[in-house]
Amino acid sequence: MAGRFKPITMAAASFFLVAALAPLFVPSWATLFALILAKSVVVLGIILLLQAGQVSFGHAMFFATGAYAAAFWGKYVGGGDIVLFLVLGAVSASILGLIVGLFVVRYREIFFGMLNLAFSMVLWSLLEKMFHYTNGADGIRVSRPGLLGVTFSPGAFQYVILYVSLLIAVAAFFGVQRYLDSPLGHMLRAIKSNETRLEYLGTSARRVLLISYVISAFLGGVSGTLVAIIQQIATPEFGFWTKSGEFVFIAILGGGAHAFGAFAGAAVYEIVRFYAAAQLANAWQLILGLVVIVIILYAPSGLIGLRQRGNRAKEGAR
């Protein structure tokens, strides 16, 4: 098994290297790569749940929680620090994840997906309607925080947040991989293949799913905080269902079978958006739509599946 995953780990390492170095030569890529890396973290959470065969259509709620944790601090307390924001975002999203998780892990498949969606729409409505606290649809500006007490110029800051995102993304990538390889990770996959047997081994499938759910909420919170800092704003749109859909879309695009799928998917998604939006205005969704049709028809295991497919074809020809 380790042998099969090695090329993917190599691909991940090269990707992280490019993300670290390329923006040094093309400054406009700093924010692009920071966004790709930050978004990949919430998609990792989606991929985690996909291991159990469950698709959450509401993960934007954790993403928004992370974003608003930073925004509220700025609005009500003032100032702020990247590390503080990340801790706040992660903790509040994890707590919400635990509360929502206690309900949703009782359900499977479409019911799991829809209940997540319902919870996320409740949060979205609150963010949208509680105008007095949240500025409604306008959102809350997140002013540029410092890092461990040091403040930066806008030019330098885009690199600071890029490398913070890179560090977190790398840690999340290896953390999730390690988790998937652990007994809990294997039990998570066992929920997909045979939940009955798991119960008959004496393990509570709900508990296994809940632990992963809280981890995925944690990742969603961290990701939302990072994106709010990068884009310097938190709006209810962070928690809208289309955002949740976008995360699932990226996971399917990249491939849900492996943690690197999150990065492959997010990279393609954001790069297409970055360039196609400039060239084709509103047609970029059309292009992504076509890309995903091709993926589903010809590479159902996503971009990272293409390589394995290629390998199998080679073996078959022998």
Partner 1 sequence: MTDNVLLSAKGIKIRFGGVIAADGIDLDVHEGENLAIIGPNGAGKTTFLNISTGYLRPQEGSVSFLGRDITAQLPRTITRLGIARAFQIPQLFLDQTVMENMLIAAASLGGRPSGIMALSSLPDAPEMTRLLDLVGVREFAARKARELPEGQRKLVDIALALALKPKLLLMDEPTSGVASSEKLGIMDILTRALAREKVTSVFVEHDMDMVERYAHRVAVWSMGKIQKVGTPAQVLADPKVREHVIGI
State the Cα–Cα distance between residues 35 and 232, nearest whole angstrom.
12
Non-local (6+) Cβ contacts of 108 within 8 A are: 53, 54
Q: How far is the CB of 211 from partner 1 (least distance, A)?
A: 7
CB nearer to partner 1: give 158 or 212: 212
Residue 5 contacts partner 1 per CB under 8 A: no
State the Cα–Cα distance between residues 249 and 94, nearest whole angstrom.
23
Q: Site size for partner 1, by CB under 8 A?
A: 26
State the Cα–Cα distance between residues 246 and 240, nearest whole angstrom.
10
In 3D space, the residue among 181, 199, 180, 195 whose CA is nearest the CA of residue 45 turns out to be 180
Q: How many residues does the chain have?
A: 318
Non-local (6+) Cβ contacts of 95 within 8 A are: none
Residue 202 contacts partner 1 per CB under 8 A: yes
In 3D space, the residue among 251, 255, 242, 248 whose CA is nearest the CA of residue 298 turns out to be 255
Residue 98 contacts partner 1 per CB under 8 A: no
Q: How far is the CB of 183 from partner 1 (least distance, A)?
A: 4
CB nearer to partner 1: give 138 or 199: 199
> What 3-state DSSP class applies to 143?
coil
CB nearer to partner 1: give 183 or 316: 183
By CB under 8 A, name the one of 189, 273, 307, 309 that touches partner 1.
Answer: 189
By CB under 8 A, name the one of 17, 192, 285, 293 that touches partner 1.
Answer: 192
By CB under 8 A, name the one of 184, 271, 272, 299 that touches partner 1.
Answer: 184
CB nearer to partner 1: give 94 or 120: 94
Q: What is the DSSP letter of 81?
A: B
**Window 25-64: contact mask with partner 1 (x via CB under 8 A):** ----------------------------------------
Q: Which residues, 266 to 305, sit near partner 1 by CB under 8 A?
A: none
Query: CA angle at residue 285 from 23 to 249, to 5 degrees?
Result: 80
> What 3-state DSSP class applies to 256?
coil
Amino acid identity for residue 143 in this structure: S
Residue 193 contacts partner 1 per CB under 8 A: yes
Q: How far is the CB of 101 from partner 1 (least distance, A)?
A: 15
Residue 311 contacts partner 1 per CB under 8 A: no
Give the number of other CB atoms < 10 A from CB of residue 55.
19
CB nearer to partner 1: give 76 or 200: 200
Strand partners, 265: none
First to last CA, the chain: 22
By CB under 8 A, name the one of 20, 83, 91, 211 that touches partner 1.
Answer: 211
Residues that bind partner 1 (CB under 8 A): 1, 178-179, 181-187, 189-190, 192-194, 196-204, 208, 211
